[in-house]
């Protein structure tokens, strides 16, 4: 029984759970050029990041245009909330990741829903793909 408990704890510690949502914007034929889409995506990301008091972070492999970060919390436990917009194979991808949790914190949940609604309003349902 003791070895089972030790293995269970080791497994929990080794696996950092996270909540992730990805929204991909696919250009609708004749509506938006790729460069204009990228500029609009970066503007939307910046506006939402400012609304949620996120600070910019330097570009890295998974987020070549740079991203945003803010701490969130659930029940007093601190979480990391990351927000990134990046090129995808067919358009632009927005990614929100809340790390070290299996559920969304209040800031992460609000950002996720606001991003979905903003993208739907700005680009329409036909252009928005949720992953």
Residue 6 lies in a domain: no
Domain that holds residue 52: 17-130
Is the pLDDT score of 101 beyond 60?
yes
Residue 45 lies in a domain: yes
Is the pLDDT score of 2 beyond 60?
no
Residue 64 lies in a domain: yes
pLDDT value of position 32: 56
Is the pLDDT score of 28 beyond 80?
no
Residue 12 lies in a domain: no
How many CA within 13 A on the CB side of residue 38?
10
Show the tokens assigned to 72: 């969130």
In DSSP terms, 21 is beta-bridged to 96
pLDDT value of position 12: 45
Residue 68 lies in a domain: yes
Distance between CA atoms of 94 and 87, rounded to whole angstroms? 9
Residue 11 lies in a domain: no
Residue 33 belongs to domain with CATH number = 3.30.160
Total number of domains in the chain = 1
pLDDT digits (tens, 9 = 90+) for 33-83: 567 888 999 999 999 999 999 999 999 998 998 899 999 999 999 999 999
Residue 2 lies in a domain: no
pTM of the full predicted structure? 0.82
31 pLDDT band, cuts 50/70/90, is: low
Show the tokens assigned to 16: 């950092």
For 2, 97, 120, 131, the CA distances from 24, given in Å and listed in that order, are: 46, 15, 11, 7
Is the pLDDT score of 9 beyond 80?
no
Residue 10 lies in a domain: no
């Amino acid at each position: 029984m003791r070895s089972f408990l030790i293995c269970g704890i080791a497994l929990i510690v080794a696996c950092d759970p996270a909540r992730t949502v990805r929204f991909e914007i696919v250009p609708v034929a004749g509506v938006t050029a790729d460069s204009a889409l990228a500029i609009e995506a970066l503007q939307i990301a910046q506006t939402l990041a400012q609304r949620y008091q996120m600070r910019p972070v330097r570009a890295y492999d998974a987020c070549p245009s740079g991203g945003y970060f803010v701490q969130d919390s659930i029940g007093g436990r601190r979480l990391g909330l990351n927000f990134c917009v990046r090129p995808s194979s067919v358009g632009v991808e927005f990614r929100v990741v809340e790390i070290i949790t299996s559920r969304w914190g209040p800031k992460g949940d609000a950002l996720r829903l606001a991003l979905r609604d903003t993208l739907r309003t700005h680009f329409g349902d036909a252009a928005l793909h949720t992953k």
